[in-house]
Amino acid sequence: MNFEKIPMKTPLVEMDGDEMTRVIWQMIKELLLEPYINLNLEYYDLGLENRDKTDDQVTVDSALATKKYGVAVKCATITPNAARVEEYHLKEMWKSPNGTIRAILDGTVFRAPILVKGITPYIPNWRKPITIARHAFGDVYKNTEAIVPAGAKAELTVTCSDGNVQTYPVYQFQESAGVLQGQFNVDASIESFARSCFNFALDTKQDLWFSTKDTISKKYDHRFKDIFQEIYDKEYAEKFAQAGIEYFYTLIDDAVARVIRSEGGFIWACKNYDGDVMSDMVATAFGSLAMMTSVLVAPDGTCEYEAAHGTVQRHYYKHLKGEPTSTNSVATLFAWTGALRKRGQLDSNERLVNFANQLEKATLDTIESGVMTGDLASMSALEKVQKVSTQEFLLAIKEKLEASL
Ligand code: NAP
Ligand code: MG
């Protein structure tokens, strides 16, 4: 084939990872990217061995590079637990790389399903993706809680920096013992969350919904609502109007009802706990975790793209034994196309943007033609379905891609 390779002006930050996704990562690069793009990548090996070797410095460095260049693509990585410490003879139980990266970029995670014909969502009127944005800071995840004996008096005490003390009554326990919980959040984090959401809505030209329980939580949740509204009015209302999209606040109960009745095609911003629960519900209803992308967006617009699933350990052990695998590479592939498209947009590199779109189309066309990995084959409503191996699937995409170039 006579194809002039696409140049890249600015580096894309590449974060390599672990197990089956690391295997897929290499295949995607070799088969679907390197032959067509003069890849300009700044490589960081976030595989567990190298994180251990560098005392996890490589994770920090990769996040700083992302800040510098604006776009990264990340492979799934192992978050070590006791079993992994033993398996990899680790010096320490290193923290989750995603947690470290998110703390440095101060970003919000947006999760969106990839829809294909033949895989019907459990909610059939969901014809477009629903993207969940979860505020991954504070509330019940940083709570302080206690079991309280009968007869105890519970109060909230706030000591200000000037020494001034304010006390708020919580509850006078009577004959029954009980439980108590303290929660907090901070304006700066809510503001970052709001800006990430508004920027992502503009980027993807989708409406943004935000919901809390402000009728019951008149100070705490109401603060979230007010911060979103103030930032929207001041910084985004005009841009939204120009883009022809809408910002819409509603009570969480109402949001749930509307989401179920909707046809999709919007971003739903949620407080931490709501986002935790709702993202699992939405992912399941759309069919498969292997078809879910995830992008971390910082308030300054910096983006890190990845698949929402993990390293698919069970398939990796089969692969190591030399057995054939049928692991779905779509979410990992879409992490690459998402990152390359964004890089292309930032650099006004139209060929790169087009290539990302063509590669996504070739992937969806492949599945819609009946060629797919085992996880999808078992769900597909198509009449003729051919279950293929991890590599055969990528080769089938390559064939469709080449026909379109
Ligand atoms: P997982 O990798 O998401 O896989 C769980 C199961 O889901 C798999 O065994 C497989 O089911 C199915 N699955 C997930 N992705 C698939 C794909 N692409 N194609 C086909 N099937 C897929 O979760 P895990 O096994 O619980 O976790 C493994 C490691 O991933 C852990 O060490 C965890 O720390 C890490 N993890 C990393 C991230 C991240 O980096 N963002 C996120 C989550 C987990 P079957 O076995 O039934 O085929
Ligand atoms: Mg959850």
Q: Mind listing the pLDDT tens digit for each residue in 14-54?
A: 999 999 999 999 999 999 999 999 999 999 999 999 999 99
Q: Is pLDDT at 150 greater than 90 in this prediction?
A: yes
**Hey, what are 336's tokens?**
């690459």
- CA proximity to 289, closest of 274, 269, 303, 306: 306
Q: Which atom of ligand 1 is nearest to the CA of 24?
A: 18
pLDDT in tens, 132-141: 999 988 898 8
59-to-15, 78, 80, 233 alpha-carbon distances in Å: 9, 13, 14, 37
Angle at 284 between CA 245 and CA 205, to 5 degrees: 15
Tell how far the Cα of 78 is from the centroid of ligand 1, in angstroms.
10
Answer yes or no: are the C-beta atoms of 376 and 288 closer than 8 Å.
yes
What are 331-369's pLDDT values in tens digits? 999 999 999 999 999 999 999 999 999 999 999 999 999
Alpha carbon distance 275, 69 (integer Å): 29
Ligand 1 centroid, distance to 277 Cα (angstroms): 18
Which one is predicted more confidently, 128 or 107? 128
Minimum mean pLDDT range among 95-99, 284-288, 304-308, 376-380:
284-288
How far separated are the first and last CA of the chain, in Å rounded? 10
Determine the atom of ligand 1 nearest the C-alpha atom of 375. Answer: 20
Residue range 254-281: mean pLDDT, rounded: 94
Instruction: Give nearest CA residue, ligand 1 atom 22.
Output: 290
What tokens appear for 77 in the block?
């990585």
Ligand 1 atom at minimal distance to the Cα of residue 79: 34
Q: How far is the CA of 313 from the centre of ligand 1 (A)?
A: 6
* pLDDT digit string, tens, across residues 364-380: 999 999 999 999 999 89
For residue 65 the two structure tokens come to: 């590079």
Q: CA–CA distance from 274 to each of 113, 148, 155, 211, 268 (Å)?
A: 18, 27, 26, 9, 10
Residue 146 is given by DSSP the state: E
Q: What is the mean pLDDT of residues 87-92?
A: 95
pLDDT in the model for residue 299: 85
CA distance 46 to 308: 17
* Whether pLDDT at 1 is above 70: no
Q: What was the pLDDT predicted at 283?
A: 85
Q: What is the DSSP string of 297-356?
A: E-TTS-EEEEESS---HHHHHHHHTT-------HHHHHHHHHHHHHHHHHTT-HHHHHHH
Residue nearest to atom 46 of ligand 1 (CA): 314
Residue from 393, 371, 390 nearest 382 by CA: 371
Cβ(378) – ligand 1 distance below 6 Å: no
Test site for ligand 1: of 77, 284, 312, most ligand atoms within 8 A of the Cβ:
312
- What 8-state DSSP symbol labels residue 80? -
SS3 240: helix
Q: Does residue 360 contact residue 368 with C-beta atoms inside 8 Å?
A: no
Ligand 1 atom 31 nearest Cα: 78
β-strand partners of 212: 251
Mean pLDDT in residue range 271-292: 88
What is the arithmetic mean of pLDDT over 169-182? 96
Please provide the average confidence, as pLDDT, over all residues in the chain: 95
Q: If you measure from the C-alpha of residue 277 to the centroid of ligand 2, how many angstroms do you get, rounded to a whole number?
A: 5
Distance from C-alpha of 273 to C-alpha of 277, rounded to nearest angstrom: 6
Atom of ligand 1 nearest to the CA of 84: 32
Any idea what DSSP says for residue 370?
A: T
Atom of ligand 1 nearest to the CA of 75: 40
213-248: pLDDT as tens digits: 999 999 999 999 999 999 999 999 999 999 999 999
How far is residue 96's CA from residue 81's CA, in Å, rounded to a whole number? 10
- State the Cα angle at 120 between 118 and 126, rounded to 5°: 135
Contact partners, residue 365, CB within 8 Å, separation at least 6: 400
Sign of CA dihedral 365, 368, 372, 374: positive
With a 6 Å cutoff on the Cβ, whether 335 touches ligand 1 is: no
Q: Is the dihedral of CA 327, 333, 334, 339 positive or negative?
A: positive
Q: 210 or 103, which is more confident?
A: 210
